[in-house]
Structure 1
Amino acid sequence: MMCESDNESENNSSAHISVFEQRAYIKIETIRGKTVPEIHAALNEVCGTDTVDRSTVQRWHQRFRDGRISIDNNPRSGRPSTVTQDNTNAAILATLLDEDRRITVREIENETGISKSSVHRILTEILQKRKIAARWVPHFLSPEQKDTRKDICRELLSRYENEKETFLDRIIAIDETWIRDFEPELKSQSNIWKGITSPRAKKVRRQQTKVKQMMIFAFDKLGIIVTHRVPIGSSVTGDYYKTFLAKKLLPEIRKKRPGMLQNGVSILHDNARPHIGAPVVALLEKYGWERLKHPPYSPDLSPPDFDLFPKLKEPRFPVFPT
């Protein structure tokens, strides 16, 4: 290899292995049958901090295995010769993003030689890109489940358009969640104003308590109707949930929402097994309460999961004292 060793480079600080020279080495070693870790280790041994990232080695290794010959960046075809440098660089960056959506600004800088500030400007201003994390979802919906979700949403929206606020007045949303006895405050919550010469405040890092308890919440458009702590060691079964509806929720509706029972109650809860079991279905039929449809695996359409629980669990100190 034409690169100098680390010891030699200490004596010759002007030695620098360019990105294109490293690509040439990747191409040679790929043809020789070397693996990505082997190639990257050899480059790192000789080039030190100038070494391209392993992901860059991986991309070019794959390109050369697929038959690529050139070590140059892909030109943008069909562009006039008067195209600006920014547009040329934008085309290069767009190609890299098409190949790897997770590529970092630093990796792009190492691979193309474009400065980090220019890479960031082109990505955000010219290509109109922004990097975001994938949104966690509880379940990938099948096409049939997506259709069901759409149909239920349309049905609920249609009912609201026809019945207006009287439809919302009847809805009671119910769900369970784990509540911890102590939630540590966020670092930002301990921010204080200080002078130039003032020492920086310190605080001991505290962990979430392992003590937690299941709680059931029932609320409507006016607010919380009832909260219930499930005894530690117990679980919410169909029979337990039925008892909650009969012994906890019903009395509180009579107490806090006079007239709701006469106007009709619509229960909105998810499709957890305790909620849709035979004991609960029989009780709802006995009371004449409607059970609103809820799409499977759709917590974003559940008022507790979407609105109540995230606000309830915002770090405070303490959240629920023991």
Structure 2
Amino acid sequence: TVALWVKLFREGRDAIQDNRRSGRPHQFLASSLDVDSRWAVRELAAEVGVCHKTVLHILHNILGYRKIAARWIPHTMSEVQQLQRYAIAQDLAHTTDTVKDLLRRWRWEILQHPPYSPDMSPCDYDLFAKMKEPLRGLRYNTREEIILAVGWSLLDINRCGRANGVQHLQIWQKVVHMGGGII
């Protein structure tokens, strides 16, 4: 599209010829996702030079990928991928006590999670949206860059006193009144 070309020229591109690509679009997409699984569909479409619907068709129907938690993953995972996923889940179980200790040291109130209702998490109501807003559209190359950006975002929310939206929600008050039970 014209907007894409304008953007490319503003970013320093000076040639109108397509970039060299090896193989068919699905081979290029597969190799791109092997390097970084956090691509947006529109970014992949611009990179390959096809419309985003074609990219979606290739990802879902030819490569068997689906997007989970902002990453494109194969629908069926290899044994290595399954073992990596298991190792991560094990690591998370060991960090919860560390996180709770840190929150206690900071004298932050730990809000209990209602049983069987992950969608009722207080952070889902207000905090995550405010935290993600300044980060929207940015890409990071390292884990450290992500941690730093999220940290600055949370500091800004705390400094401005904007992390109070859960107190204004009637449904959350019902959950508190029910003692965390199902409404």
| TM class, shorter-length | 0.3 to 0.5
Structure showing greater Rg: 1
Higher strand share: 1
Higher helix share: 2
TM-score calculated relative to the size of structure 1 = 0.23
